[in-house]
Chain A
Amino acid sequence: MDPYIERSPDGAVAIGTLDSLLNLARKNSEWYLLFATACCGIELMQTGGPRTDADRFGFVFRPTPRQADTIILAGTITYKMASRVRLLYEQMAEPRYVISMGSCANTGGPFYDSYPVVKGGDLILPVDVYVAGCPPRPEALIEALMLVQDKMAREPWLRKARGRWPDPKDPWPQPSAVLGSCAAAAKGPTPKG
């Protein structure tokens, strides 16, 4: 199925070009929220620094959630913080994306047994990309941001804006499938014997 053609009853209407143009712009201007809950925030700051310059890809931080596209759950989330994190996410303008950075945000990490720790950021927010590590290196965070770029590039933005996506009759590569293939590609060929 050609993902660049939107079907209508009286024939095919090609809106894929406009969609891909919009997506090209969107993915090259991914602004992330300057927000961190724990030590992963140090690596988050490093990501904007000279060695892994996030600005090369157009990733700049915005201090206010209204102007951010991506929220990065950087660090341990406590139950008390969870509602605030959720509030920040809800204050962001759509379309918005979530990156879960580091062991704590993925699963609770080393503090899994602790009574105040949320056992994974995906319990409160719809996470798009998980980054492993404690903490992940800045390069890993850059890769996560680029995975979000991949996701943006494959989204039918116009159809989504008009409330016509996801549509079970017109299956678009689902985000999970896309990320799964990316992960498989990153893993490389399976070692023999």
Chain B
Amino acid sequence: MQLLAERIATWLGMEGLPRQAVVAGVVLVVALVVATVVLTIAGILTWAERRVAGRTQSRVGPNRVGPLGFLQWVADGIKLITKEDVIPAAADRTLFRLAPYPVIVGIFAAFASVPFGQKLIAADLNVGVLYLMAITSLVVVGVLMAGWASNNKWALLGGVRSAAQIVSYEVPSVLAALSVVLLAGTLSLQGIIGKQGGWPWEWYLFYNPFTFVAFFLFFTSAVAEGNRTPFDLPEAESELVAGYNVEYSGMRFAGFFLGEFANVYLLSAIATALFFGGWQIPGVTPDMQAASPVWQAVGVGLFALKAGTGAFVVLWLRWTMPRLRVDQLMGLCYRYLLPLSFAMLLGNAAYVWLVPQWAAWVVQGATTTVGLAVAGVFVRRVFYHIRHVGDDVSLDLARGESGTFDPQLQVRVYGAFRRRHAGDSAS
């Protein structure tokens, strides 16, 4: 286990100073840099979420602040700083003030061992997966503190729901991640990425049918752990006004908010590292990448691309899926995800134990083919629906005479109407 901090200290030629002092100083700087990067990512994700929501709902989304409204998150952040920090009179003041910090610490500390690139990792822990799963559990503490300290029934219900949900979904998510650990034989995230390759058939996603299923189990559980729709019961507006953060305003609310969005990126980054080959470039071995700064940069970009795609899918899910009920949520976890993830773990163990190498190659190829075919069919369907979006619904009022309302343009099957009159002039 070599800390990035130690490497930087050596590079700066600061061996003369007391080693602990140098390391502590550099650790602080690195922590600050990582926190800033994570804050930026979380902020950009809030903007991305609103743009995705706009597209999904036939709207535009924020477009006034900066190009395509890109600086919307900066405006929101500054606004939240200037707002009053309300602490309800009946609240437990100490706990209320402390509550956002475990959430922020839990998420941000996890980024310490996220492998953004082959050499771009703050601390490559040899217990990386274990560390990630353990440190993100701090979020439960913060959420429960917020729910309890607010002295508000909605907040308390939201906090308790969130705790139950995170603790429950932790199990399938860890078991699904264990499948990968079993194959790689290491808990270190860099080690796991090193065992994979750049091409899709070298990813653990397509290693065998068990890991293929394990990925979806992991992703579902991770989305549920992050309290994202369709599992956002702790924040369900229709039942609990805003969940555990109902009494929070200003910067303390921003803490919860940024934590949630940083978590979206975190879960995509972990999924990328465990199942999608991380920073591995197709056709480039890790040794080649280590030798060249250009390949390093490409690797970092590739990781960001994969993780960004994962984050986009999470946002997309949020605006597509309706919310589950509480009993459905727990039923899904304990009756389906948990036994399935156990089965996948045992299946992987048996696979490693029983299947010879030549058969493993065949299985890997077959899984890749089937997996890519499924992905292809899915993407084709998505694009089909995007192309034909106007066929069922039209929001276009102003296509008749200029400024007049033409009820015929409001017919439900607008596409059919449009096709029928494709050749007509505006008469």
> Which of B58, B72, B84 makes the CB contact (< 8 A) with A58?
B72
**Which residue of chain B lies nearest to A51 when distances are taken between CB atoms in the complex?**
B395
Question: Is B58 in contact with A50, judged by CB distance below 8 angstroms?
Answer: yes
Q: Number of B residues whose C-beta is below 8 Å from A? A: 38
Question: Is B62 in contact with A50, judged by CB distance below 8 angstroms?
Answer: no
Question: Is B246 in contact with A58, judged by CB distance below 8 angstroms?
Answer: no
Interface stretch, picked from A18-26, A101-109, A171-179, is A18-26
**Which residue of chain A lies nearest to B240 when distances are taken between CB atoms in the complex?**
A63
Tell me if B86 is interfacial: C-beta within 8 Å of chain A. yes
Tell me if B35 is interfacial: C-beta within 8 Å of chain A. no
Question: Is B75 in contact with A93, judged by CB distance below 8 angstroms?
Answer: no
Question: Is B61 in contact with A64, judged by CB distance below 8 angstroms?
Answer: no
Question: Is B82 in contact with A157, judged by CB distance below 8 angstroms?
Answer: yes
> Which of A28, A50, A60, A95 makes the CB contact (< 8 A) with B50?
A60
Interface residues of A in 12-35 (CB under 8 A from B): 21-22, 24-26, 28-29, 34
Q: What's the Cα separation between A60 and B47 when bound, in Å?
A: 12
Contacts of A53 in B (CB 8 A): 54, 59-61
Question: Is B249 in contact with A56, judged by CB distance below 8 angstroms?
Answer: no
Assuming the contacts A25-B75, A26-B78, asked whether A58 and B64 have C-beta atoms less than 8 A apart, the reply is yes
Contacts of B64 in A (CB 8 A): 28, 56-58
Tell me if B36 is interfacial: C-beta within 8 Å of chain A. no
Nearest CB of B to A143, in Å: 15
> Which of B58, B72, B76, B83 makes the CB contact (< 8 A) with A93?
B83
Nearest CB of A to B425, in Å: 27
Interface residues of B in 68-99 (CB under 8 A from A): 69, 72, 74-80, 82-86
**Which residue of chain A lies nearest to B73 when distances are taken between CB atoms in the complex?**
A29
Tell me if B184 is interfacial: C-beta within 8 Å of chain A. no
Contacts of B78 in A (CB 8 A): 21-22, 25-26, 29
Chain A CB within 10 A, most for which of B59, B85, B237, B248: B59
Contacts of A50 in B (CB 8 A): 57-59, 395
Question: Is B50 in contact with A55, judged by CB distance below 8 angstroms?
Answer: yes
Question: Is A25 in contact with B79, judged by CB distance below 8 angstroms?
Answer: yes
Question: Is B253 in contact with A66, judged by CB distance below 8 angstroms?
Answer: yes
Contacts of A69 in B (CB 8 A): 79, 83
Tell me if A37 is interfacial: C-beta within 8 Å of chain B. no
Question: Is B84 in contact with A93, judged by CB distance below 8 angstroms?
Answer: yes
**Which residue of chain B lies nearest to A61 when distances are taken between CB atoms in the complex?**
B237
Interface residues of B in 183-215 (CB under 8 A from A): none
Q: What's the Cα separation between A1 and B297 when bound, in Å?
A: 54
Question: Is B79 in contact with A55, judged by CB distance below 8 angstroms?
Answer: no
Question: Is A29 in contact with B85, judged by CB distance below 8 angstroms?
Answer: no
Assuming the contacts A55-B61, A55-B62, asked whether A64 and B242 have C-beta atoms less than 8 A apart, the reply is yes
Question: Is A29 in contact with B79, judged by CB distance below 8 angstroms?
Answer: yes
Question: Is A66 in contact with B86, judged by CB distance below 8 angstroms?
Answer: yes
Question: Is A64 in contact with B246, judged by CB distance below 8 angstroms?
Answer: yes
- Can you report 18 residue pairs joining A to B where beta carbons are below 8 Å apart? A25-B77, A25-B78, A26-B78, A28-B75, A28-B79, A50-B395, A55-B54, A55-B60, A64-B246, A66-B86, A66-B246, A93-B83, A93-B85, A93-B86, A93-B249, A93-B250, A94-B83, A95-B83
- Excluding A26-B78, A56-B60, A58-B69, 11 further A-B contacts by CB distance (< 8 Å) are A22-B82, A25-B77, A50-B58, A51-B395, A55-B54, A56-B59, A63-B237, A66-B253, A91-B86, A93-B83, A94-B83
**Which A residues are within 8 Å of any B CB, using their own CB?**
21-22, 24-26, 28-29, 34, 49-51, 53, 55-58, 60, 62-64, 66-67, 69, 91, 93-95, 157, 161
**Which B residues are within 8 Å of any A CB, using their own CB?**
50, 53-54, 57-65, 69, 72, 74-80, 82-86, 237, 241-242, 245-250, 253, 395, 397
